[in-house]
Structures are given as C-alpha cells and as structure tokens.
Amino acid sequence: MEMVAFYYFLAFLLAFFLLSKQFFPKRKNLPPSGPLSFPIIGHLYLFKKPLHQNLARISSQYGPILLLKFGSRRVLLVSSPSAAEECFTTNDIVFANRPRFLSGKYLGFDYTVLALAPYGQHWRNLRRLTTLEIFSSTRLQMFSKTRTNEVHSLLQRLLAIAGNSSETQDMKSMFFELTLNNMMMMIAGKRYYGDNVGVLDKAKHFQELVEEIFGAGGVSNIEDFLPLLKWVNFNGLEKKLVRLQKKRDQFMKELIEEHRMARTQSKDEKSLLDVLLSLQEDDPNYYTDEIIVGIIHVLLIAGTDTTAGTMEWAMSLLLNHPEVLKEAQAEIDAIVGQDRLLNESDISHLPYLHCIINETLRLYPAGPLLVPHESSEECIVGGYSIPRGTMLLVNLWAIQKDPNLWEEPTKFIPERMESIEGVRDGYKLMPFGSGRRSCPGEGLALRVVGLTLGSLIQCFEWERVDEELIDMTEGTGLTMPKAKPLEAKCKPRPAMLSFLSQL
Ligand code: HEM
Ligand SMILES: *[C@@H]1O[C@H](CO)[C@@H](O)[C@H](O)[C@H]1NC(C)=O
Ligand SMILES: *[C@@H]1O[C@H](CO)[C@@H](O)[C@H](O)[C@H]1NC(C)=O
Ligand SMILES: *[C@@H]1O[C@H](CO)[C@@H](O)[C@H](O)[C@H]1NC(C)=O
C-alpha cells in the first residue's frame, strides 16, 4: 500500500515538473553569479579595499560579466571592453541612471547634485548648464589666464624652496592647492590658498572644510548596502556627515551672499556664481540656493582630487623613470625652446607629454570603477538579460591593465599610446568614462594637467628624495589616491632661471 502511495507521489512530481515547464516562462538567462553568495549579505564579504582590485581578481577567475549581490542589491560587474561598449552604446540610455543610495545619504547630497542625479529632465538641465558655463571651449578659453596664473605661482613657490637643497617639496599639497584655487577662481573669482587669498580667516575655514570633506570616506561603503549596519553605525558616520553638511552649507551660504552683494557685471569676468545668480533672478523657483550649492559642490568634489591625483601619479611615474622624464624635457626644449615659458597653446604640440598623461590615466584612473550606473529597464549585455534596477560597475582599472589587451600591462611605457586608435581604442582606454554620463570635465582636466606637468618639466630638474624608488602603492580613497604622498626635490634649470625670477 505504501509503495503505491510512493508511486503516486513520483507521478505527481513528474507531472508537476512537465507542466511547470509548459506553463511557467523559462527562467531568465542571467549572467553567472561568481563566487558563493550568502543570504542577506550576498557577496559583501568580498568587500575589501581597494574594491577595484578585489573585484578584478574575482572577474579574472569567474568571467568578465558577472551578476553579484551586494546585500539585496543586484550588481552587474563588467570587465571587458566589448561588454563595456554594449553598456555605453546600445544600452547607454538604459544605464544613464544612478543608483538611489548615491543621491540619498552620501554627504547629505540630494538629487540636485549633477554627478549623482537620476537620469531625467533635471539632470539634463544641470548638465546643459554646466556644459555651457564651465566646460564649453569658450569658457575654458576665458579661464586660460587663471590657469596660467596658478601654474606660475606654483613655479614661484618651488623656486623659493628649491634654493635650499635640503628641502623636499610636498607635491601632493601643491597639486591639490593648485587645482582647488583654479576651481574656486572659475566658480567664485577667488583663491583660497597661498598669497593673495583675500580674506584670510575665510580661506582658513575653507581649507579645513575641504580637508574634512575629502577625508569623509567613499561611495564604496558597506553601509550603503546593508541598512542594518547603517543603523548600527548611525552615531559615527552619519553624525559626522550631518555636521559636515551643516558646515558646508554655512560656507556656501556666505559665499553666495557675498556674491549677491557685489555682482560682477562685466561679461568677461563673470564667475560661475555670477551666472547662476542672474539665472536665479530670472527663475527663482528653479535656481534655488540649494541647486546652486549642489552645482558648486559637485565641481569641487569631482574636479579637484581627480585632477590633483593624476598629476601626483604622473610625477611619481616620471621620477621612477628618469629616461622618460628626459625625453619629455627634450620634446619641450625642441618645440617650445628655453627662451620663454611654456603656455597653454603649446600643449597640443607636445605629443609625448600627451602620451605620458594618457599612460598615467591608464595605470591610475581616478575613477577605477567609474561612478556606479543603474539600469532603468531590462536590457541585454553579452547575451545575458540584465534585470531593471541593476547597479552597473565597470572595472576600468581591470580593463586598462588586462594582460590580454596590453603588453606588459603594469609597466609605464608612454610610447604605447602612440598606437592608440580612435578616442577610446575600442573601449580599452576610457579614464573619463563613455556615453552620456561620461566626465564633462575631461577638457578642463587635460588642460590643467598638461600645463602644470609641462611647466614643471620645462623649468626644473627633478629627482627623488633618495635612491629608493617612489612607493606606488594605491591608497583606499574614493579617487584612488597614492598611499604615500609624493615628495620630491627639484632645482631650477639655469636657462630658465631668468624667466622664473621675473614671475
Ligand atoms: C583627471 C581628472 C578626471 C578624471 C580621471 C575623471 C573621471 C571621471 C569619471 C570616470 C566619471 C564617471 C563616468 C561614468 O559615470 O561613467 C566622471 C564623472 C564626472 N566628472 Fe570627472 N574626471 C576628472 C576630472 C573632472 C573635472 C576637472 C571635473 C569638473 C570640474 C569633473 C566633473 C565630473 C562630473 C560633474 C561628473 C558626473 C557626470 C554625470 O553624472 O553626468 N571631472 N569623471
Ligand atoms: C634649509 O632648510 C632647512 C630645513 O627646513 C632649514 O633648517 C635651513 O635653515 C634652510 N636653509 C636656508 C638657507 O634657508
Ligand atoms: C603662447 O606663446 C606663443 C609664443 O610666444 C604666443 O604666440 C601665444 O599667443 C601664447 N598663447 C597663450 C595662450 O598665451
Ligand atoms: C589621449 O587620450 C585622449 C582621450 O582620452 C585622446 O583624445 C588622445 O588622442 C590621446 N592621446 C594620445 C597621444 O594617445
């Protein structure tokens, strides 16, 4: 009797199996899910910093298209040029969104911030506005003098210390202050570091604020994916962020207020704040103070550390490769000469310098995982179906160091950039991302980096502080900082001394 019941049961199972195949749709063809995923935490146990290095290891083991789980969030991890191309061409609009948590809590940012805003009308407005008022070639041209002044004051500072051969130069701070001053000049027509800083205690306050903001952690915080942890940690991180946000808002408010009082009317001199305030007059409901603060803040956050860090890595690479430094200097001597200072119009005539910058961005991209994207509907990548609401991480760091794509991938060889084809070379090299969410600051960044490095190489002889090679270990910050800040020694080149002392 029991035997019969057992057979009935088997028959029932078989029938159910056949029927379910018939009536329920086939399971979606999802990408492989990589290493073991645990309940609740998913793959978060893999969250070791630097994240891009860890994820690169996983991809090399499990494949270039993986669907991971960070807590309850689906994450598409892409680490091949062809998959990246599909994300930023066929599916560019689908992936033009940003994950919600980014626009939510981080530093008290809300959706007003360009880099983190969800894809839509509002993002388009912000992007169009900044393209016109900051990133357009007319505006970039207009601020050329500002950049030149900043570089000259860097050269002056170096000259003042370089006379003392026992002094080493803190290159990290110098690059950071240069880019920040440059950005604040474009935004508000004021510098905040060094000589001629206007109101000193304001400047001091600003410096502290900036240091705190840049020290406040990154997007790749585990707390973003595990609400429970966030709650546990509330008193630490969250409190700090709230306090920072208050300080920031106070500072920005004062800045805006000052500009309201003394608006610059002349067309050429207009800073971004002047432009934003006149827009506010025309449309006060849209261009609120919050929107203005958001725009300014994102430019500082997205534009400062990235640019300064790239210069620091480039200089470090050059110090470890004196033969490359020599060749760059020879190129500048041949094309610009030694009877005037290099200027911005020279940069486009210095292909080797460009190669150095591009090779630096290949090895040390300031956005190693880009900025997270999110799919707004279901789409296909590499033949797999990707559900709606999936976060996209493109491991640029892995692609740009892939031994299948690059010969001797970890070596600094600027010459290899001569054979790069097209802008992104088949999506093998895209330090500024690609598609509609790519970096709008690329032109500005390349100008600042080119002019600064070119001038340093033209005017000074550089060397390491001792025999030891510069430590190239990556730190764990948001924009891939160097673990050890760069220090170096320099002395002015005799032929350039007369121009330097005239500055
Ligand atoms: C070497 C310097 C820089 C590098 C390597 C860099 C790289 C990047 C990358 C990888 C992204 C994300 C692209 C994506 O999500 O797919 C990005 C976005 C962005 N960058 Fe840059 N960037 C640099 C400099 C700058 C500068 C100087 C500014 C502005 C002054 C800037 C402003 C932005 C903004 C606003 C976004 C967000 C765009 C959006 O979401 O629509 N960046 N950048
Ligand atoms: C050179 O720098 C050292 C260390 O900062 C300092 O002690 C010394 O007085 C400086 N010498 C001159 C001539 O400025
Ligand atoms: C750079 O210098 C050259 C030669 O002196 C000059 O013709 C050119 O106008 C300068 N460009 C800028 C942007 O100052
Ligand atoms: C460097 O990269 C940029 C794109 O990021 C490209 O436009 C340029 O042609 C490259 N230059 C060289 C010398 O490879």
- Across 112-126, 256-270, 434-448, the highest mean pLDDT is recorded for 434-448
Residues with Cβ < 8 Å from 429, sequence gap 6 or more?
A: 358, 361, 362, 400, 420
299 lines ligand 1 (CB under 6 A): yes
220 lines ligand 4 (CB under 6 A): no
Residues with Cβ < 8 Å from 145, sequence gap 6 or more?
A: none
CA-to-CA dists, residue 334 to 233, 240, 329, 340, 359, angstroms = 58, 52, 9, 12, 22
CA of 280 to the centre of ligand 1 (A): 26
Residue among 335, 345, 350 to mutate when testing ligand 3 (max atoms within 8 A of CB):
345
Whole-model pTM? Answer: 0.88
CA-to-CA dists, residue 296 to 114, 184, 372, angstroms = 10, 9, 21
Tens-place pLDDT, residues 198-210:
555 666 666 666 6
Which of 98-107, 390-399, 403-412, 466-475 has the weakest average pLDDT? Answer: 98-107
User: 270 in helix, strand or coil?
Assistant: coil
Closest by CA to 316, choosing from 447, 473, 162, is 473
CA of 290 to the centre of ligand 1 (A): 21
Of all protein residues, the one whose alpha carbon is nearest to atom 7 of ligand 4 is: 423
Mean pLDDT of 305-318: 96
CA-to-CA dists, residue 368 to 93, 239, 305, angstroms = 22, 28, 14
Q: What is the pLDDT of residue 410?
A: 97
Is the four-CA dihedral 466, 478, 150, 207 of positive or negative sign?
negative
Query: Angle 78-481-371 (CA atoms, 0-180°, nearest 5)?
Result: 35
User: 486 in helix, strand or coil?
Assistant: coil
For residue 215, pLDDT beyond 60: no
Which of 81-90, 227-236, 463-472 has the weakest average pLDDT? Answer: 227-236
Residues of the chain with pLDDT > 90, as a percent, come to: 52
For residue 492, pLDDT beyond 70: yes
Residue 297 confidence class, pLDDT cut points 50, 70, 90: confident
Tens-place pLDDT, residues 9-34:
666 666 665 555 555 555 689 999 98
CA of 475 to the centre of ligand 2 (A): 31
420 lines ligand 4 (CB under 6 A): yes
Of all protein residues, the one whose alpha carbon is nearest to atom 39 of ligand 1 is: 115
Q: Are 301 and 244 in contact (CB under 8 A)?
A: no
Tens-place pLDDT, residues 380-389:
999 999 999 9
CA of 60 to the centre of ligand 1 (A): 27
CA-to-CA dists, residue 401 to 134, 312, 352, 412, angstroms = 32, 20, 21, 11
CA of 303 to the centre of ligand 4 (A): 19
For residue 236, pLDDT beyond 90: no
Of all protein residues, the one whose alpha carbon is nearest to atom 5 of ligand 2 is: 167
Which residue type sits at 157? R
User: 412 in helix, strand or coil?
Assistant: coil
With 0-12 / 13-18 / 19 or more C-beta atoms within 10 angstroms meaning exposed / middle / buried, residue 74 is buried
471 lines ligand 2 (CB under 6 A): no
**Ligand 2 atom at shortest distance from the alpha carbon of 167:** 2
Tens-place pLDDT, residues 413-435:
999 999 887 667 889 999 999 99
Q: Which ligand is nearest to the CA of 166?
A: 2
358 lines ligand 4 (CB under 6 A): yes
Which residue type sits at 304? T
For residue 217, pLDDT beyond 50: no
Mean pLDDT of 36-63: 89
Q: What is the chain's mean pLDDT, rounded?
A: 85
**Domains in the chain, CATH or no CATH each:** 44-501 (1.10.630.10)
Tens-place pLDDT, residues 1-14:
567 776 776 666 66
Q: What is the pLDDT of residue 247?
A: 75
Mean pLDDT of 180-209: 74
Mean pLDDT of 150-174: 87
Q: Are 61 and 403 in contact (CB under 8 A)?
A: no
Q: What is the pLDDT of residue 459?
A: 96
